[in-house]
């Protein structure tokens, strides 16, 4: 966001604050998601003010197109521009329902067509190599380094073994984990809670962490977070990402982010015979179409089913 852009008039700043409250209370969005919406909407409104548009009703489709064009001229990725356009649409739809504008100019704003990008997916062998490396590192670590190695092992196993998002993992508390039933309760997008199963290897890693790693990081005032940082606070998403990148390098596989472990879990579930609806529930997708992205790597299984089942194969 350009620092030389003018500040927002009071009524526009109030509208942004009310929209943020709507996202929190009515939509149940996380602080991270709300921060992204606020940044996008504030960018639009500051652009409008700079071009002489000082009230919400004065924003028209020309203002929206000019703002998005300015984003593209700055060299932002098409996906980023598309996301900002979606934020503007959500804000203006809300503004119309809230009675702040009579009409929604964003209905005339065309959505850019984005190329379908396929998620990064590890092979089952590469995923196993990463997780085996994490286990072996924990077993071989010196006593003072062992708690951190156990933490990285538990995080990687849970990300892959349950397919949860890195943000969901960071918010898991000790009480959310049922080691006997191998289940973890997470709070997903929109504040929706779901219970996700995980396998025996993840259960071993989490047990080893809780018993032999987590106590080393407990401090006065430490809460019930499952994963703790070096100072006793909740281990954040950035720290989880850094640990996964380091683990990929140690295992000698392609560099991946935590989300790739989620993508890999979904793909391997489908390859193993799980149906789309079950995978949708595990991943917490609101739309089945989102889950269908993972079928692109499962062509060989589909081909075998086709040959076995179709009389004209």
Indicate which residue of 189, 204, 245, 301 is catalytic.
189
Q: Is 192 a catalytic residue?
A: no
Q: Is 246 a catalytic residue?
A: no
In the sheet with 177-178, reading across from the earlier edge strand, the strands are: 177-178, 183-187, 193-197
How far is C-alpha 217 from the geometric centre of its chain's CA atoms?
A: 26
Q: Is 262 a catalytic residue?
A: yes
Return the DSSP state at 190: G
Q: Is 78 a catalytic residue?
A: no
**For residues 222 and 228, is the Cβ–Cβ distance under 8 A?**
yes
Q: How far is CA 29 from CA 36, 187, 290, in A?
A: 11, 11, 19
The C-alpha atoms of residue 275 and residue 184 are separated, in whole angstroms, by 21
Indicate which residue of 84, 262, 263, 268 is catalytic.
262
Indicate which residue of 84, 165, 263, 268 is catalytic.
165
Which H helix or E strand runs over 169?
Answer: helix 166-170
Q: Is 259 a catalytic residue?
A: yes
3-state secondary structure of 248: helix
| 147 closest CA partner among 137, 162, 158, 156 | 137
Buried b (16+ CB within 10 A) or exposed e, 19-47: bbebbeeeeebbeebbeebbebbbbbbbb
Residues 6 or more apart whose Cβ sits within 8 Å of residue 113: none
Indicate which residue of 18, 259, 293, 301 is catalytic.
259
Q: Is 129 a catalytic residue?
A: no
Active-site residue list? 165, 189, 259, 262, 285, 294
């Amino acid at each position: 966001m350009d620092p030389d852009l003018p500040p927002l008039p009071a009524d526009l700043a109030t509208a942004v604050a009310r929209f943020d409250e709507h996202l929190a209370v009515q939509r149940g969005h996380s602080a991270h998601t709300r921060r992204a919406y606020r940044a996008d909407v504030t960018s639009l409104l500051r652009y409008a003010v700079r071009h002489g548009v000082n009230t919400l009703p004065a924003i028209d489709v020309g203002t929206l197109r000019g703002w998005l064009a300015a984003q593209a001229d700055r060299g932002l990725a098409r996906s980023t521009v598309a996301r900002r356009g979606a934020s503007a649409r959500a804000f203006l739809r809300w503004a119309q329902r809230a009675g702040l504008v009579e009409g929604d100019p964003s209905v005339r704003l065309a959505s850019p067509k984005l190329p379908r990008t396929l998620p990064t997916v590890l092979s089952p062998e590469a995923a196993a190599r990463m997780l085996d490396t994490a286990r072996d590192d924990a077993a071989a670590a010196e006593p003072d380094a062992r708690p951190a190695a156990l933490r990285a092992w538990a995080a990687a196993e849970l990300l892959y073994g349950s397919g949860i998002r890195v943000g969901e993992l960071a918010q898991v508390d000790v009480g959310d984990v049922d080691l006997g039933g191998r289940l973890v309760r997470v709070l997903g997008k929109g504040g929706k809670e779901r219970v996700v199963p995980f396998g025996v290897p993840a259960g071993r890693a989490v047990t080893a962490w809780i018993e032999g790693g987590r106590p080393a990081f407990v401090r006065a005032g430490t809460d019930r977070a499952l994963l703790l940082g070096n100072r006793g606070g909740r281990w954040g998403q950035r720290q989880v990402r850094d640990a996964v990148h380091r683990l990929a390098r140690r295992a000698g596989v392609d560099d991946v982010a935590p989300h790739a472990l989620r993508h890999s879990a979904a793909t391997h579930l489908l390859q193993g015979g799980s149906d789309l609806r079950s995978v949708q529930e595990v991943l917490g997708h609101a739309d089945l179409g989102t889950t269908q992205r993972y079928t692109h790597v499962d062509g060989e299984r589909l081909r075998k089913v086709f040959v076995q089942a179709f009389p004209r194969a």
